[in-house]
Every structure is written in structure tokens, then in C-alpha cells.
Homo-oligomer: A and B are copies of this chain.
Amino acid sequence: MSQQRQLHLNLLFNNAGNFSSAWRWPDSDPAAFYDVAYHVATARLLEKGTFDAIFYSDVLALNDTPECRPFQSLEPTILLASIAAATTHLGLIGTISSSYNDPFNIARRLASLDHVSRGRAGINIVTTADAAAARNFGQADVFDHADRYARGVEFIEVLQKLWDSWEDDAVIGDKPAGRLIDPARLHRVDHKGRYFDVQGPLTVPRAPQGRPVVVQAGASPDGRAVAARHAEIVFTSAHSIAEAAEYATDVRRRAQAFGRKPGDIAILPGLVTVLGSTEAQAKQRAQALWELVPIKYGLNRLATVLDVDARELDLDKPLPANLPRPRNGSYTVFDKAVKLARDGNLTVRELIKAQGGGATMHRVIVGTPEQVADSIAEWFATGHVDGFNIVPDAIASGLEPLIDEVVPLLRRKGIFREHYEGKTLREHYGLPRPASSYATH
């Protein structure tokens, strides 16, 4: 029996959900964002739906308009270590900034998370474009764009060296001889680079997955270069199949230049879902969520993305002409917003609405479970995407029908697992377990 190519689904956990109004939904608890019980309940729901992973984004400063919506408050690896204890199969992906961390600490923390979860850890490495974050770490402003990415690449390389610094069989546990570890199978990494000098070895035996899975987002040329070189799962954004095709073709071509095969990278665009039993009900739900969006939030968020003063934006007019790219912000998010506005000839208010109230820049489907499942299947069949990072409109009310109705439809199409076949995040994704680069036998 030939097995159909299988889809991969992560939940991109944007706390209350994609809509900045999700916390105001009748069954939402406004304080859920910092309540571990809410996170654990969500993870268990995902495990019921055999999702590949839960995926936490992150921020290192209070941004935008904190009074208007929840944000990633609890530190992702702490949250994931607690979720690990309450689940058995779900992959656990946390976001870490390469700008405001030491690679030794992060290599250790992720290897530890991989051990406590028995091989379910993934790390989404981001460069930080937020000046308020810089000011929480003793710096007046963020690193320049190119510098951020160069540091990010070196950061990943140091992680990989440290994760490789214990060979698989280094812990021998020979009680009679009194030899716990074979020191010949531990390796100093002696990394001396532009940003980091790290001696090693790590203090943690080799992780169950060899290396935790490396996830990467970013659509700028710098971001694509990093993804092509190091990412195993790419988190991207695409509003049309043509856009997804361009991205996939480019990233896979770039990856080939690094000796990587097309199957070494799973590409997952973001996808916002608003579900209803009928299309009309879904549209009603979207409208109701939209009406609850604090417009102030969406406006300030957009002003941050565009690097302009919020007072320069008129809710009922198009974007100002000739917006320059922000000197140091995220080009990806900026370009998406401007393109969406120009292509659709949208007012500022319509642009905020098209983005679900300003939380993400991802494609939104408003429809029935059948419509969502059909769209997922259609995109997947093109071969340009390997799955989706799903962002429900509101959690739990928008996640439950996804698990209970959309997932069964995807299974019926034969493109999504009925039950977990592997135990680790690598196994869920069919990614090979890398050998230690120091292994001699």
C-alpha cells in the first residue's frame, strides 16, 4: 500500500487567538494568557487532533498597546516544559531571540527540554527588530538588519556544535569500572566567531532527537538565506498559491546550494481560520469578532509595523504614499501589509480588518469545516506547502471545531494521520535524526 504524502499542522499559539478581540469572546477568560491550565488544555486538544506541534511566538518587551490584547507573556520554554509533563506526543516549539541570549544557555535549555519531553523540542530562532526589547538588555537600539541575521546564523551554528558535543553513546554507566562517561566521546567545540566565543562541551548528554528541530521564519533575502541553510521547518506567510510557489521554489533552490535536499525542509505558511456551520455563520462570527477589536490596538500595531506615528494614519483613507521600509523593523511584515493594502486598494480600517484585527499578517479563511479542509488540501496538493501553522480566530471556541470537524475531514482525504506513528517531533515531520558532527565511529 502506497502511503500518500502527509500534511503537517502546528498551532501557532497567539494566545487568545488571532483576533485581538478574542479575549472578549463570551467564553474566553481574559486572564487565560498567563494561566498554565489554559495552555495545557489547549495542548491536550491539539494532541487529540494529532497535531504535529504547538508553536509559541515570543516578544521581549511590551509593545503596541498592551491594554488591548493578550500577548506572549510566560517564557515559552518554561511553558513548554510544563506542557511536556502533561502530554505525550505533541511537538513543542518555542521562539528564542538570537539577539538577546547566549548560545550556551539556549543550547542547554533546548537540550534539556528535549530530554524532559523525550524528544519533542523545536526552536524557532528569531532576530529581534524591536527597540523596546533592546532597551531591556542594556542597548539603545537593535542591531542593524544584516548584523542581526549574521548573528542569528552564527547563533544556530554554535547551537548545533554544542548539541553535537556529546556523542550518542558518551554515557556508559560502567558501575564496576567506576566510569560514568567516556570523556573521549565529549568534545570541546572551541568556536571562535564574529559574535561568539564558546569553548564547550555542553553540560547535557546528547538530546533524544540528536538536535532539537530548527524552525525559522522570515521572507526577506536575509531570512530566506538563513532558512535555506539551517531551517528544518519554515514558517512563512502566503496569501495565494502563486506566492507560496515562488517562496518554496526559491527557498528549495537556495537550500540545494547548501547541499540540502528538497525534503529536508518542511514549508508551512500561516493560516487564520474562522469557522462556522454554514458560510453565513462563519461570516457572522468574523464580523462579531471584528466588531470587538479595539481599533486603537490595530492602529497602533499597524503604525509600529510601518514605523510611522499612529496620527499619520487616517482610518478611512488609504495608506500614505511612498512609505519607506523601516530602517530596522521587520521587512517581511512591512512588505505584507503594504502589498495587502495596495493590491486591494484598502483603507487603513479595511487593512486592519483584513489582518484579523492586527495580530498577524496571514491568510484568513472564513468558512465551513469543509471549505477549510478543501482549501488546505488544495494548497497541499500543489506540493508548494507541507502543511500550515494554523492560527484560530479565538481559542478555545475556534480551535474545537478545527479539531472535531476539520481534522476528521483531512483524515478522510487520506492526507493527515489518524494517530501518531512516531514519538518525537522529528518523527512526526519525517526529518532525519542528525549524527553528531564529532562522531568518529
**Footprint of B on A, CB under 8 Å?**
21, 23-24, 29-31, 34-36, 40, 59-62, 66-75, 77-79, 81-86, 100-102, 104-105, 108-109, 112-113, 115-116, 132, 135-138, 171, 173-175, 178-183, 186, 196-201, 203-205, 292, 294
Contact = CB atoms under 8 A, between A and B. Distances in A.
A123 to B, nearest CB: 13
B180 A78 contact: no
B81 A186 contact: no
Given A79-B112, A81-B82, A178-B292, 4 more contacts: A30-B175, A31-B171, A34-B115, A36-B116
Q: Which 7 A-B pairs have the closest CB atoms?
A: A30-B173, A85-B85, A81-B81, A135-B199, A78-B112, A75-B112, A36-B116
Per assembly, the copies of the chain total: 2
Given A85-B85, A104-B60, A109 B203 contact: no
Which of A82, A183, A186 has the largest number of chain B CB atoms within 10 A? A82
A34 B111 CA distance: 10
B105 A100 contact: yes
A181 B100 contact: no
A179 to B, nearest CB: 6
Given A31-B173, A102-B100, A109-B75, A68 B178 contact: yes
Contacts of A181: 66-67
B74 A34 contact: no
Nearest to A198: B136
Which of A59, A109, A137 has the largest number of chain B CB atoms within 10 A? A137
